[in-house]
Amino acid sequence: MPHVQRLLQDLVFYGRLERCDQEIAEERRGEGCGACGGRLHQAHYRRRPRGGPPVGLGATFSRRFSYCCGGCRARTTPASVRFLGRKVYLAPVVMLLPAMGRRFPPRVVALVRQSLGPSLRTFRRWLAFWTELVPRAPFWRTARARLMPPVDEAALPASLVDRFASGDDYVDVERALAFVSPISTETARR
């Protein structure tokens, strides 16, 4: 991950993530309501994400795809590669900045962190999220079985990004985000 800061500022990369989220959302919408089988209608959430490129993300990054059943009114929010649950920073930032913290000197990480905006306190919360909360999540207990040999949970998220290493930083991060995308929904975090 030598080009983390460049990747986190690349509009093409975010465009790919947006298309991935649209595909996930449309697939979920096509399945209908999980409670009653009714038709799902658009009910997207407004978001003001932080940490991405200063300009150019456009209006599509200001919404989180979500649906509401036309029959029972139950809400369905599909998994996302752009957002990790209720975190205000974009998912790539929440994944890559802590991963950098395991690989680069603290002064380099501090410079990148300051350019993206999260405080040191927020950065530490993200480290705790990856090393303490993710390994205990029901989603992770099931998903980690698909990763053989097992990833080093103490080195998350860096060990997860490494697992998807293909030589292309963009593809590696996209695949790692897709793998953990179920944790972006409320039910996966319980």
For the CA atoms of 122, 123, 128, 129, what is the dihedral angle to 10 degrees?
A: 70
What pLDDT is recorded for position 112? 85
How many whole angstroms separate alpha carbon 147 and alpha carbon 108? Answer: 30
Better-predicted residue by pLDDT, 171 or 60: 171
Better-predicted residue by pLDDT, 84 or 5: 84
Q: How does pLDDT run across 29-72, given as a tens digit for each residue?
A: 999 999 999 999 999 989 888 888 877 787 778 899 999 999 99
Cβ atoms of 134 and 143 closer than 8 Å: no
Q: Out of 56-60, 86-90, 121-125, pick the least confident.
A: 56-60
Q: How confident is the model at residue 186 (pLDDT cuts 50, 70, 90)?
A: low
- Tokens 């080195």 belong to residue: 155
Q: How confident is the model at residue 24 (pLDDT cuts 50, 70, 90)?
A: very high
What pLDDT is recorded for position 49? 87
Paired with 41 in beta bridges are 68
How many whole angstroms separate alpha carbon 26 and alpha carbon 78? Answer: 9
Q: How does pLDDT run across 160-169, given as a tens digit for each residue?
A: 999 998 988 8
DSSP letter assigned to residue 68: E
Q: How confident is the model at residue 1 (pLDDT cuts 50, 70, 90)?
A: very low
Domain ranges of the chain: 4-184
Report whether pLDDT(154) > 50.
yes
What pLDDT is recorded for position 33? 95
- Amino acid at site 111: L
Q: How does pLDDT run across 172-185, given as a tens digit for each residue?
A: 999 999 999 998 88
- Nearest partner of 173 among 158, 153, 183, judged by Cα: 158
